Amino acid sequence: MKKELPYCMTGKAIKGYNESVIAKGETNDCVVRAFASCFELSYDKAHKYVKEKFGRKDRQGTYGTVITMMNLVLNRTQVNYKRIKRLGTPQLSHLHYSLQYSVKTKGSLIFRNMTVGTFIKKNPVGTFFILVKGHAFTIKDGVVIGNYEDAQKPRRVMLHAFEIK
């Protein structure tokens, strides 16, 4: 198995990222970068949207991303003419979806947590907003857009995934 996934630099994937004054002064902006690359928005527009809708404060990260994304799904909100679809199987509440999949080994059926590498193998085409523990990034047509470390960890367990169409 390959140890590294295909990767695209943030500066190439997001419109206006390298020229943005806001981007140069930001930290903990993974949700903004993932949002910009998923919805094909400029960094500054994505920054403004996430600040308004997600309640993000400058240089402090984004909290409650799953809840806000689920509200966008339930309200059928379009961003840049694109809709959001929740991936996984629903569990006890409308917020919790499981990304586990079944595998038959030695005659018995077991469930495994979805990893980034497995997700890319099962979904080679499409745009996906991915949430792992404490971080967000984009997978677009099998290519990771985010931090370089995201492409180096194919065995990282995914917590939530949203398809952008």
3-state secondary structure of 113: coil
Taking alpha carbons only, the member of 79, 90, 19, 23 closest to residue 53 is: 79
User: Cα separation of 12 and 28, whole Å?
Assistant: 19
User: Cα separation of 151 and 108, whole Å?
Assistant: 32
- Token readout for 93 is 């509440």
User: Cα separation of 30 and 65, whole Å?
Assistant: 11
Q: Is a pLDDT exceeding 90 seen at residue 17?
A: yes
Summarize the confidence of residues 23-38 as an average pLDDT.
Answer: 96
CA distances to 1, 22, 97 from 93, rounded to whole Å, are 36, 37, 8
CA distances to 74, 144, 160 from 29, rounded to whole Å, are 25, 16, 18
Taking alpha carbons only, the member of 143, 101, 147 closest to residue 126 is: 143
Per residue in 105-150, pLDDT tens?
A: 888 999 899 999 999 999 999 999 999 999 999 999 999 999 999 9
Per residue in 47-100, pLDDT tens?
A: 999 999 999 999 999 999 999 999 999 999 999 999 999 999 887 766 678 898
